[in-house]
Amino acid sequence: MSSTTAQSGLARARRGVAPGGTGTAGGKRKSKLSAQATRTFFWLLLPSVVLLVLIHGYPLIYAAVQATHDGDLLQTGNFVGVQNFSTVLTSPAFWKAAQFTLWFTIVGVFGSWLVGLGLALLLRTKIPAGNTFKVLLLLPWVVPIVVSSTAWNWLVATPDSLIPALFRNLGLGTPLFLADPTLASITVMVFKVWVSFPFMMMMISAALASVDTTVYEAASMDGASPWQQFTQITLPLIARSTYISWILMTIFCVNDFPTIYLLTGGGPVNATTSLVVLAYRTVFQDFATGPGVAIAFLMTMTLVVISVILYRQIRKSSVE
């Protein structure tokens, strides 16, 4: 909506040039301004463009070169065509990592959404110290991942850590949270939900804040049950921000490196190796630059498609 306002000002002034806008004095002033605006815009945008080319454009092109060549980190070798891609696509490790990434993403997105939604709903009504709780609950997202993974490590890593010891004292055995492949996968996903739910909570709270509460009073006078109010009123009203947050969280989960790497390093037995972790290890531990970059490239392609679709959707919904 605000973009329409922006459109009217400078944009109108700039377009003033096109339809032979001389004639009136106002037209002259406008076209002078628009030429000046174009010049100013160019200089204002220049640093950003230079950085984008240097930090994003150049590496992307160079990555394409590396993905199609053999060689190592120090020297790009000979052109090998799609050989790196076929190496990657035929390796079981790649598909295992892709599968883990998929599960990690699904659990990460919907887990953090459900927890975030629940807390946003609880915090919507006025409760004592509500704002303090809001800030406290953001902490998992604000605290550096290196710090929180350290704490999680201390809590679960060894049989004598706090949580396994707690299980033992309850007579539930001593779960090896980071040594058992299944448990390690679950632990990493729970950790990811823990890190991400505040973001979802923020998004949903912002969406809920714009809902007129009299709607609920009216609905409950009408005899709508809380569940009906939730499904008929709340969910539709937060649908747009929910949709955006799902896709954003998908991108965050697919691209996530530290959450997994710091807690498990991708182990045990590669059980928690995601595509990013696999790409990192292929390049910097196995020194197979070509295949490593090929993995990153395959992810890039997938994410470009997702984000172009997302961009279109956001554009469309902000026009409506």
Q: Are 219 and 106 in contact (CB under 8 A)?
A: no
Q: Which residue, 72 or 82, has its beta carbon nearer to other proteins?
A: 72
What is the rounded CA–CA span in Å between residue 130 and residue 114? 20
Does residue 60 belong to the site contacting other proteins (CB under 8 A)? yes
Q: Are strands 76-79 and 69-71 parallel, antiparallel or unpaired?
A: antiparallel
- Asked if 77 and 289 count as a contact pair (C-beta separation under 8 A), the reply is no
Stretch that binds other proteins, among 36-44, 78-86, 91-99, 178-186 (CB under 8 A): 36-44
Q: Is 182 exposed, middle or buried (0-12, 13-18, 19+ CB in 10 A)?
A: exposed
CB of 180 to other proteins, least distance (A): 21
What's the closest the beta carbon of residue 91 comes to other proteins, in angstroms?
17
Residues 272 and 295: their CA atoms lie apart, in Å, by 16
Query: Least separation, in Å, of the C-beta of 278 and other proteins?
Result: 10
User: Nearest-CA neighbor of 69 among 59, 86, 56, 83?
Assistant: 83
Q: In whole angstroms, how close is the CB of 144 to other proteins at the nearest point?
A: 4
Chain residues 197-236 in contact with other proteins, contact rule CB under 8 A: 199, 202-203, 206, 211-212, 215, 217-222, 232-233, 236
Question: Smallest gap, in angstroms, from Cβ of residue 206 to other proteins?
Answer: 6
Taking CB under 8 A as the criterion, the residue among 49, 106, 114, 269 binding other proteins is 49
Residue in 262, 263, 271, 288 binding other proteins, rule: CB under 8 A: 262
What b/e string do you get for 74-94 counting C-beta neighbours within 10 Å, with b at 16 or more? eebeeebeebbbeebeeeeeb
From 77-85, 168-176, 177-185, 308-316, span contacting other proteins (CB under 8 A):
308-316
- If binding means CB under 8 A, how many residues of this protein chain bind other proteins? 118
Binding segment for other proteins among 84-92, 168-176, 180-188, 307-315 (CB under 8 A)?
307-315
> Under rule CB under 8 A, which residues in 81-140 are in contact with other proteins?
119, 122-123, 125-129, 133, 135-140
**135 to 154: interface string for other proteins, x by CB under 8 A:** xxxxxxxxxxxxxx-xxx-x
Based on the shown chain and the rule CB under 8 A, indicate whether residue 17 belongs to the binding site for other proteins.
no
Site for other proteins in 156-185 (CB under 8 A): 162
Question: Cα–Cα distance between 180 and 144 in angstroms, integer?
Answer: 26
Rounded to a whole number of angstroms, the minimum distance from the CB of residue 307 to other proteins is 4
* Spatial separation of the C-alpha atoms in residues 163 and 152, rounded to whole Å: 10
* Min dist. Cβ of residue 188 to other proteins (A): 14
Choices 17-25, 82-90, 174-182, 252-260; region in contact with other proteins by CB under 8 A: 252-260
Place of tokens 């998004």: 203
Angstrom distances, CA of residue 289 to CA of 266, 285, 304: 19, 10, 22
> What is the spatial distance between Cα 293 and Cα 282, in angstroms, rounded to a whole number?
9
